[in-house]
Amino acid sequence: MGKKGKREKKGKGAEKTAAKMEKKVSRRAKKEEEDLEALIAEFQSLDAKKTQVIESSCPPPSPRLNGSLSAHPEKDELILFGGEYFNGQKTYLYNDLYVYNIRKNSWAKVEVPNPPPRRCAHQAAVVPTAGGQLWVFGGEFASPNGEQFYHYKDLWVLHLATKTWEQIKASGGPSGRSGHRMVACKRQLIVFGGFHESTRDYIYYNDVYAFNLDSFTWSKLAPSGIGPAPRSGCQMATTPEGSIIIYGGYCKQRVKKDVDKGTLHTDMFLLKTEGVGKEEDRWAWSRLNPSGVKPTPRSGFSVAVAPNNRSLLFGGVHDEEEEESIEGDFFNDIYLYDTGKNRWFPGQLKGPKSEKKKRRRGRQTEAEGAGDEEMEKQPAQGPVEIVKEVVAEDGTVMTIKQVISGLADEKERSESEEEEEEDGALGQQVEPCPRSNAMVAVKHGVLYVYGGMFEVGDRQFTLSDLYSIDLHKMEEWKVLVEMDPKAQEWLEESDSGEEDDDMEGAEGGEEEEESSEEESEDEEGEEQHPPVQPGEKHTDYLSRTEQYWIQLARSNMGPDAKEKKVVKVAHAMAKTVYEDSV
């Protein structure tokens, strides 16, 4: 009883501390988010110009990480949404939508009116309702310099059959966050964990929310038992029975002023529903102690649902944190968790079934089946002398002679040569380079891995390659889209102190791929704003154009937005345009 009482008291104390920290973070983040709201609103005004769905063939999407890749529930397609890219100086955020046709190995860009704002580190889940729905919750927007963050708490659904985005406005949902996890479980979306970060503070979550896909309502779950500590980037998966599994994740804590310590979690929990059939299900946490070979500690891994009631983990990074630097070991391995057996095991490549072996067996069978008649046609062969030259390490050439019977030698030689060729082929197998924060999806038992990033020294390489592997066979990786990371642009940090144009940074890092037509559209969008007159002061400009900006802000923020907030965002938008002009 004493230990239980202490645990409960400690738990309540931790809850109070977390609540205080959340209020502190909320206050400090409020101003940052208000500044970024103006930027987000202006990007949405550009998106609002889209009035019809346009689907066009295109090259593979630009390099990115922390987007979402989802398998279409009815078609042989993968859906890529959002993500981020950093070129050394500037952060780019995306809200574009791409569809990958598995059969044709081709990409198409789908422009849908009124999409969610640009974001990364969100979560997406697919349900088969009404021809398929892609649900998106949360994520973050970053300023171009990567120093300010806006954390979303909005919920969107993409109706795949009609290609329309819809924002679902329901109260009582999770607070703004990124790095959380979301899965579709029966007729609910379950959201767990994540973090919220401002310039100076941060908070990690371990709360659980459920969104009912029938009533379109949020509810905060209050599971019994001891659950996971606050974390982001964990593995979250469902079991056939409707339970939820949590593994790993990352969090950091402030150990002293301006010093943070990161923690890689390797624990595992089961969130199980009780009281089936009642109006409100009761949930309970319990600790899992799986058998087998668990993944090595890491963060930034990617997860997917694999065949045969298994959950899959791919890649990630293990950071060695020093006082002034972080060195990361990146991974490209696969681990599978069997939910029925409560067991981890590594996904080891078996290697392709060599055609040479098949041919060899085929030739052997044909030779045996040909009979004595075939053998009689062949002239008798005497002993054969084989001469081989071997170069030693010191450069000495040694000659080796071997005398063997002709037929036996021919057979042994051909077999040994084929085996060498097979060994060489196995050694040259392709595979994705080690990476973290990749986008993964499984369709028809095949795992697809797109993008992600790795680091070499202070440089970050962001990827846009695409690989696949059949999880049933586990024979070999296939390259669907190649990329040479060395050819990627990388800009060293500028010492000039000049601020880059915000619009360019948030528009999304595809400046090398975008057509001149799209650039001209952006220019036209900018020219529609009221221009600043020569010598005009900011106050005069604001007074003259205030109604225009208020109307624009209201159209982007919706009719439910408070007037005070609309005016604040409008003034911030006007200030941005004024400062850019002067």
- Strand ranges (E), 414-509: 439-443, 446-456, 459-470, 477-481
**Structural tokens at position 399:** 């000659």
pLDDT of residue 184: 96
Of 352, 354, 335, the C-alpha closest to 473 is 352
β-strands 164-168, 459-470 pairing: unpaired
Percentage of the chain exceeding pLDDT 90: 51
Average pLDDT, rounded, for the chain: 80
Backbone φ and ψ for 393, nearest 5 degrees, come out as: -65, -30
Q: Does the structure show a pLDDT above 90 at 438?
A: yes
- Which among 181, 236, 186, 238 has a CA at the least distance from the CA of 212? 186
pLDDT at 57 over 90: yes
Task: Kindly give the pairing relationship between strand 343-346 and strand 291-292.
Answer: parallel
CB burial of 275-298 (b: ≥16 within 10 Å; e: otherwise) equals eeeeeebebebeeeebeeebbeeb
DSSP state of 105: T
pLDDT (mean) for 370-377: 44
Task: Report how far residue 433's alpha carbon sits from residue 37's, in angstroms, rounded to the nearest whole number.
Answer: 37
Do 237 and 310 touch, CB atoms closer than 8 A? no
- The pLDDT of 551-556, averaged and rounded, is 76
Task: Give the per-residue pLDDT at 413.
Answer: 46
CA distances from 309 to 78, 305, 340, 516 (A): 21, 8, 7, 48
Q: How would you class 481 by CB atoms within 10 Å of its CB: exposed for 0-12, middle for 13-18, buried for 19 or more?
A: middle
Domains of the chain listed by start with CATH number: 29-349+432-486 (2.120.10.80), 538-580 (no CATH)
pLDDT at residue 527, rounded to an integer: 41
CB 244 within 8 A of CB 227: no
Least confident of 42-56, 232-246, 398-412, 498-512: 398-412
The least confident of 82-86, 110-114, 258-262 is 258-262
Q: Is the dihedral of CA 292, 293, 297, 298 positive or negative?
A: negative
CA dist list (Å): 330 to 60, 161, 265, 360:
24, 38, 17, 40
Query: Per residue in 174-183, pLDDT tens?
Result: 999 999 999 9
pLDDT bin (cut points 50, 70, 90) of residue 495 is very low
pLDDT at site 324 = 56
Which residue is it, tokens 């310039």?
199
Q: Which of 174-188, 309-323, 390-404 has the highest mean pLDDT?
A: 174-188
> Which residue is associated with the tokens 């999409």?
115
pLDDT band at 549 (very low <50, low <70, confident <90, very high): confident
Q: What is the pLDDT of residue 320?
A: 77
Weakest-pLDDT range from 41-45, 133-137, 176-180: 41-45
For every residue of 175-186, which 3-state class applies, written as one string?
A: CCCECCEEEEEC
Assess contact for 157 and 168: CB atoms under 8 A: yes
Q: What is the pLDDT of residue 551?
A: 81
Minimal CA–CA distance to 66: which of 568, 463, 505? 463
CA atoms of 135 and 155, how far apart (whole Å): 7
Residue of 236, 219, 232, 141 lying closest to 184 (CA atoms): 236
φ, ψ dihedrals at 512, nearest 5°: -80, -25
Contact by Cβ (8 Å): 280, 271: no
* Bridge partner residues of 136 (DSSP): 124, 156
Output Rg (C-alpha) for the chain, integer angstroms: 29
pLDDT digit string, tens, across residues 327-365: 789 999 999 999 999 999 999 998 876 654 554 555 554
> 430-448 burial string, b = 16+ CB within 10 Å, else e?
eebebbbbbbbbbbeebbb
- Mean pLDDT over residues 311-319, rounded? 95
More confident position, 45 or 509: 45
- Which has more confidence, 311 or 33? 311
